[in-house]
Structure 1
Protein backbone atom coordinates (compact mmCIF):
# COMPACT_ATOMS: atom_id res chain seq x y z
CA UNK A 1 0.00 0.00 0.00
CA UNK A 2 1.29 3.43 -0.98
CA UNK A 3 1.60 6.04 1.74
CA UNK A 4 -0.12 9.30 0.90
CA UNK A 5 2.03 12.43 1.00
CA UNK A 6 0.34 15.30 2.79
CA UNK A 7 0.53 18.65 1.05
CA UNK A 8 -0.22 22.13 2.25
CA UNK A 9 1.37 24.75 4.51
CA UNK A 10 2.72 22.11 6.87
CA UNK A 11 4.51 20.36 4.02
CA UNK A 12 6.12 23.63 2.95
CA UNK A 13 7.27 24.29 6.50
CA UNK A 14 8.72 20.80 6.78
CA UNK A 15 10.59 21.07 3.49
CA UNK A 16 11.99 24.53 4.26
CA UNK A 17 12.58 23.95 7.97
CA UNK A 18 10.83 27.13 9.11
CA UNK A 19 7.46 28.83 8.70
CA UNK A 20 6.77 31.09 5.73
CA UNK A 21 6.51 34.26 7.90
CA UNK A 22 10.10 33.68 9.06
CA UNK A 23 11.22 33.22 5.44
CA UNK A 24 9.52 36.53 4.55
CA UNK A 25 11.04 38.28 7.60
CA UNK A 26 14.53 37.12 6.65
CA UNK A 27 14.00 38.27 3.06
CA UNK A 28 12.71 41.64 4.28
CA UNK A 29 16.08 42.31 5.93
CA UNK A 30 17.32 43.18 2.43
CA UNK A 31 14.68 45.83 1.74
CA UNK A 32 16.50 48.73 3.49
CA UNK A 33 19.37 48.33 1.00
CA UNK A 34 16.94 48.56 -1.89
CA UNK A 35 15.40 51.74 -0.51
CA UNK A 36 18.81 53.24 0.31
CA UNK A 37 20.06 52.41 -3.20
CA UNK A 38 17.01 53.69 -5.08
CA UNK A 39 16.92 56.93 -3.11
CA UNK A 40 20.73 57.30 -3.15
CA UNK A 41 20.85 57.62 0.64
CA UNK A 42 24.11 55.85 1.48
CA UNK A 43 27.43 54.95 -0.01
CA UNK A 44 30.57 53.00 0.69
CA UNK A 45 30.78 51.12 3.96
CA UNK A 46 27.14 51.52 4.96
CA UNK A 47 26.04 50.15 1.60
CA UNK A 48 28.34 47.13 2.03
CA UNK A 49 26.75 46.38 5.40
CA UNK A 50 23.28 46.69 3.86
CA UNK A 51 24.31 44.38 1.00
CA UNK A 52 26.09 41.63 2.92
CA UNK A 53 24.58 41.93 6.41
CA UNK A 54 21.22 40.34 5.56
CA UNK A 55 22.85 37.44 3.70
CA UNK A 56 25.18 36.75 6.64
CA UNK A 57 22.14 36.75 8.93
CA UNK A 58 20.29 34.34 6.60
CA UNK A 59 23.19 31.90 6.71
CA UNK A 60 23.65 32.29 10.48
CA UNK A 61 19.96 31.54 11.07
CA UNK A 62 19.94 28.33 9.03
CA UNK A 63 23.11 27.17 10.76
CA UNK A 64 21.83 28.13 14.22
CA UNK A 65 18.51 26.35 13.60
CA UNK A 66 20.38 23.33 12.15
CA UNK A 67 17.94 23.07 9.29
CA UNK A 68 17.85 19.84 7.30
CA UNK A 69 18.22 21.57 3.93
CA UNK A 70 19.89 25.00 4.19
CA UNK A 71 20.10 25.28 0.41
CA UNK A 72 16.33 24.95 -0.13
CA UNK A 73 15.59 27.31 2.76
CA UNK A 74 17.94 30.02 1.52
CA UNK A 75 16.76 29.59 -2.05
CA UNK A 76 13.23 30.29 -0.77
CA UNK A 77 14.49 33.33 1.17
CA UNK A 78 16.23 34.55 -2.00
CA UNK A 79 13.09 34.10 -4.08
CA UNK A 80 11.03 36.14 -1.61
CA UNK A 81 13.84 38.70 -1.42
CA UNK A 82 13.78 38.98 -5.21
CA UNK A 83 10.02 39.59 -5.18
CA UNK A 84 10.42 42.25 -2.47
CA UNK A 85 13.30 43.79 -4.43
CA UNK A 86 11.16 43.90 -7.59
CA UNK A 87 8.14 45.45 -5.87
CA UNK A 88 10.25 48.01 -4.00
CA UNK A 89 12.05 49.07 -7.19
CA UNK A 90 8.68 49.53 -8.91
CA UNK A 91 7.31 51.60 -6.02
CA UNK A 92 10.40 53.83 -5.96
CA UNK A 93 10.84 53.97 -9.76
CA UNK A 94 9.91 57.65 -10.19
CA UNK A 95 11.97 58.76 -7.18
CA UNK A 96 14.97 56.78 -8.39
CA UNK A 97 14.93 57.98 -12.01
CA UNK A 98 13.00 61.26 -11.89
CA UNK A 99 12.63 62.75 -15.34
CA UNK A 100 15.24 60.44 -16.89
CA UNK A 101 13.89 56.87 -16.69
CA UNK A 102 15.66 54.03 -18.51
CA UNK A 103 14.79 53.78 -22.18
CA UNK A 104 15.11 51.16 -24.86
CA UNK A 105 18.01 51.52 -27.25
CA UNK A 106 19.21 49.91 -30.44
CA UNK A 107 16.56 48.95 -33.00
CA UNK A 108 13.75 49.69 -30.54
CA UNK A 109 14.85 53.23 -29.71
CA UNK A 110 11.93 55.55 -30.38
CA UNK A 111 9.84 52.78 -31.99
CA UNK A 112 7.34 52.29 -29.16
CA UNK A 113 4.99 54.70 -27.46
CA UNK A 114 6.35 55.99 -24.15
CA UNK A 115 3.74 53.96 -22.22
CA UNK A 116 4.62 50.69 -23.97
CA UNK A 117 8.33 51.40 -23.66
CA UNK A 118 7.92 52.03 -19.94
CA UNK A 119 5.94 48.79 -19.56
CA UNK A 120 8.65 46.80 -21.36
CA UNK A 121 11.49 48.32 -19.33
CA UNK A 122 9.64 47.91 -16.03
CA UNK A 123 8.72 44.30 -16.85
CA UNK A 124 12.33 43.41 -17.55
CA UNK A 125 13.46 45.28 -14.43
CA UNK A 126 10.94 43.27 -12.38
CA UNK A 127 12.19 39.99 -13.81
CA UNK A 128 15.80 41.02 -13.31
CA UNK A 129 15.12 41.77 -9.65
CA UNK A 130 13.49 38.40 -9.06
CA UNK A 131 16.39 36.66 -10.83
CA UNK A 132 18.87 38.63 -8.71
CA UNK A 133 17.12 37.49 -5.54
CA UNK A 134 17.13 33.87 -6.69
CA UNK A 135 20.85 34.06 -7.50
CA UNK A 136 21.59 35.58 -4.08
CA UNK A 137 19.55 32.74 -2.56
CA UNK A 138 21.49 30.13 -4.57
CA UNK A 139 24.85 31.54 -3.47
CA UNK A 140 23.77 31.93 0.16
CA UNK A 141 22.23 28.46 0.04
CA UNK A 142 25.42 26.92 -1.31
CA UNK A 143 27.46 28.63 1.41
CA UNK A 144 24.95 27.54 4.08
CA UNK A 145 24.87 23.98 2.78
CA UNK A 146 28.66 23.76 2.70
CA UNK A 147 29.02 25.34 6.15
CA UNK A 148 26.47 22.89 7.58
CA UNK A 149 28.59 20.02 6.24
CA UNK A 150 31.90 21.22 7.66
CA UNK A 151 30.96 22.82 10.98
CA UNK A 152 31.21 20.57 14.04
CA UNK A 153 27.86 19.31 15.26
CA UNK A 154 26.06 19.90 11.97
CA UNK A 155 27.21 16.79 10.08
CA UNK A 156 25.58 15.48 6.93
CA UNK A 157 21.94 14.61 7.02
Structure 2
Protein backbone atom coordinates (compact mmCIF):
# COMPACT_ATOMS: atom_id res chain seq x y z
CA UNK A 1 0.00 0.00 0.00
CA UNK A 2 1.43 3.39 -0.96
CA UNK A 3 2.13 5.98 1.69
CA UNK A 4 -0.52 8.49 0.48
CA UNK A 5 -3.14 5.73 0.36
CA UNK A 6 -2.13 4.53 3.82
CA UNK A 7 -2.39 8.06 5.23
CA UNK A 8 -5.37 9.35 3.26
CA UNK A 9 -7.30 6.10 2.81
CA UNK A 10 -7.77 6.56 -0.94
CA UNK A 11 -5.63 6.58 -4.06
CA UNK A 12 -4.95 9.91 -5.79
CA UNK A 13 -7.38 9.14 -8.64
CA UNK A 14 -10.17 8.47 -6.13
CA UNK A 15 -9.37 11.67 -4.22
CA UNK A 16 -9.48 13.62 -7.51
CA UNK A 17 -12.73 11.89 -8.44
CA UNK A 18 -14.31 12.90 -5.14
CA UNK A 19 -13.19 16.49 -5.68
CA UNK A 20 -14.54 16.39 -9.24
CA UNK A 21 -18.04 15.73 -7.88
CA UNK A 22 -18.23 19.50 -7.33
CA UNK A 23 -17.28 20.39 -10.92
CA UNK A 24 -20.81 20.23 -12.41
CA UNK A 25 -21.93 23.15 -10.24
CA UNK A 26 -18.91 25.18 -11.31
CA UNK A 27 -19.63 24.61 -15.00
CA UNK A 28 -23.38 25.14 -14.76
CA UNK A 29 -22.96 28.28 -12.67
CA UNK A 30 -20.31 29.80 -14.92
CA UNK A 31 -22.47 29.02 -17.97
CA UNK A 32 -25.40 30.73 -16.20
CA UNK A 33 -27.53 27.58 -16.33
CA UNK A 34 -28.20 27.50 -12.58
CA UNK A 35 -28.59 30.39 -10.19
CA UNK A 36 -27.91 31.08 -6.51
CA UNK A 37 -30.82 30.15 -4.30
CA UNK A 38 -32.28 27.49 -6.61
CA UNK A 39 -32.87 23.94 -5.42
CA UNK A 40 -30.55 22.49 -8.06
CA UNK A 41 -27.79 24.89 -7.04
CA UNK A 42 -28.26 23.96 -3.39
CA UNK A 43 -28.03 20.27 -4.19
CA UNK A 44 -24.90 20.81 -6.28
CA UNK A 45 -23.35 22.85 -3.45
CA UNK A 46 -24.03 20.43 -0.60
CA UNK A 47 -24.07 16.95 -2.16
CA UNK A 48 -20.35 16.76 -3.04
CA UNK A 49 -19.13 17.55 0.51
CA UNK A 50 -21.73 15.11 1.88
CA UNK A 51 -20.30 12.48 -0.47
CA UNK A 52 -16.81 13.28 0.82
CA UNK A 53 -18.02 12.71 4.38
CA UNK A 54 -19.82 9.50 3.41
CA UNK A 55 -16.69 8.18 1.69
CA UNK A 56 -14.59 8.90 4.78
CA UNK A 57 -17.16 7.27 7.07
CA UNK A 58 -17.21 4.23 4.80
CA UNK A 59 -13.46 3.95 4.34
CA UNK A 60 -12.34 5.15 7.80
CA UNK A 61 -8.91 6.52 6.80
CA UNK A 62 -6.31 7.01 9.52
CA UNK A 63 -6.55 10.81 9.20
CA UNK A 64 -10.07 11.76 8.08
CA UNK A 65 -9.55 15.52 8.45
CA UNK A 66 -6.43 15.44 6.27
CA UNK A 67 -8.17 13.23 3.72
CA UNK A 68 -11.06 15.66 3.24
CA UNK A 69 -8.74 18.66 3.38
CA UNK A 70 -6.79 17.18 0.44
CA UNK A 71 -10.06 16.62 -1.43
CA UNK A 72 -10.93 20.27 -0.75
CA UNK A 73 -7.58 21.48 -2.05
CA UNK A 74 -8.06 19.42 -5.21
CA UNK A 75 -11.54 20.93 -5.50
CA UNK A 76 -9.93 24.37 -5.26
CA UNK A 77 -7.58 23.46 -8.11
CA UNK A 78 -10.57 22.34 -10.20
CA UNK A 79 -12.37 25.59 -9.33
CA UNK A 80 -9.38 27.67 -10.38
CA UNK A 81 -8.93 25.78 -13.66
CA UNK A 82 -12.64 25.80 -14.45
CA UNK A 83 -13.06 29.50 -13.79
CA UNK A 84 -10.08 30.27 -16.00
CA UNK A 85 -11.36 28.06 -18.82
CA UNK A 86 -14.87 29.54 -18.63
CA UNK A 87 -13.75 33.12 -17.89
CA UNK A 88 -14.93 34.77 -21.11
CA UNK A 89 -18.20 32.82 -21.19
CA UNK A 90 -18.96 33.57 -17.54
CA UNK A 91 -18.50 37.30 -17.98
CA UNK A 92 -19.97 37.51 -21.47
CA UNK A 93 -17.26 39.85 -22.68
CA UNK A 94 -17.73 42.20 -19.72
CA UNK A 95 -14.58 41.12 -17.89
CA UNK A 96 -14.23 42.76 -14.48
CA UNK A 97 -11.83 45.69 -14.28
CA UNK A 98 -10.15 47.65 -11.56
CA UNK A 99 -11.71 50.93 -10.47
CA UNK A 100 -10.84 54.06 -8.57
CA UNK A 101 -7.17 55.05 -8.66
CA UNK A 102 -6.35 51.80 -10.47
CA UNK A 103 -8.79 52.30 -13.36
CA UNK A 104 -6.00 53.65 -15.59
CA UNK A 105 -3.77 50.59 -15.17
CA UNK A 106 -2.98 48.84 -18.46
CA UNK A 107 -5.94 46.53 -19.36
CA UNK A 108 -3.61 43.55 -19.80
CA UNK A 109 -2.28 44.06 -16.27
CA UNK A 110 -5.84 44.39 -14.98
CA UNK A 111 -6.83 41.11 -16.65
CA UNK A 112 -3.83 39.37 -15.11
CA UNK A 113 -4.61 40.76 -11.66
CA UNK A 114 -8.29 39.81 -11.87
CA UNK A 115 -7.54 36.30 -13.12
CA UNK A 116 -4.84 35.88 -10.47
CA UNK A 117 -7.25 36.99 -7.76
CA UNK A 118 -9.79 34.46 -9.07
CA UNK A 119 -7.21 31.67 -8.85
CA UNK A 120 -6.26 32.59 -5.28
CA UNK A 121 -9.93 32.90 -4.33
CA UNK A 122 -10.69 29.47 -5.81
CA UNK A 123 -7.82 27.81 -3.97
CA UNK A 124 -8.82 29.43 -0.68
CA UNK A 125 -12.47 28.48 -1.19
CA UNK A 126 -11.63 24.85 -1.92
CA UNK A 127 -9.29 24.65 1.04
CA UNK A 128 -11.85 26.19 3.41
CA UNK A 129 -14.60 23.88 2.17
CA UNK A 130 -12.23 20.96 2.69
CA UNK A 131 -11.28 22.14 6.18
CA UNK A 132 -14.86 22.63 7.36
CA UNK A 133 -16.05 19.39 5.76
CA UNK A 134 -12.97 17.59 7.09
CA UNK A 135 -13.70 18.79 10.61
CA UNK A 136 -17.25 17.46 10.34
CA UNK A 137 -15.97 14.17 8.91
CA UNK A 138 -13.37 13.79 11.66
CA UNK A 139 -15.98 14.48 14.33
CA UNK A 140 -18.40 12.01 12.79
CA UNK A 141 -15.66 9.38 12.58
CA UNK A 142 -15.26 9.71 16.35
CA UNK A 143 -18.99 9.68 17.08
CA UNK A 144 -20.31 7.16 14.56
CA UNK A 145 -19.15 3.65 15.26
CA UNK A 146 -17.64 1.76 12.40
CA UNK A 147 -14.82 -0.41 11.28
CA UNK A 148 -11.24 0.88 11.09
CA UNK A 149 -9.76 1.65 7.68
CA UNK A 150 -10.83 -0.79 5.00
CA UNK A 151 -8.05 -2.22 2.89
CA UNK A 152 -9.90 -4.99 1.07
CA UNK A 153 -9.96 -3.25 -2.35
CA UNK A 154 -6.48 -2.44 -3.72
CA UNK A 155 -7.97 -0.30 -6.53
CA UNK A 156 -9.30 2.47 -4.29
TM-score by length of 1: 0.89
How many Å separate the matches in 2 of 1:42 and 1:29? 16
How many Å separate the matches in 2 of 1:143 and 1:117? 39
1:30 aligns with 2:30: no
1:113 aligns with 2:106: yes
Give the total of aligned pairs: 146
Q: From 10, 16, 23, give the equivalent of 2:8.
A: 16
CA gap of 1:154–1:147, structure 2 versus 1, over 3 A, is farther
Q: CA deviation at 1:16?
A: 1.0
1:33-52 paired onto structure 2 within 5 Å: 33-43=25-35, 44-52=38-46
1:2-151 paired onto structure 2 within 5 Å: 10-43=2-35, 44-110=38-104, 112-151=105-144
Kindly indicate whether the alpha-carbon contact (under 8 Å) linking 2:73 and 2:127 is maintained by their aligned counterparts in 1: yes
Which structure: larger Rg?
Answer: 1
Misfit runs of 4+, over 4 Å: none
Q: CA deviation at 1:14?
A: 1.5
How many Å separate the matches in 1 of 2:33 and 2:62? 38
TM-score by length of 2: 0.89
Q: CA deviation at 1:154?
A: 5.7
Tell me, which stretches of 5 or more residues in structure 1 are unaligned? 1-8
Q: CA deviation at 1:149?
A: 0.6
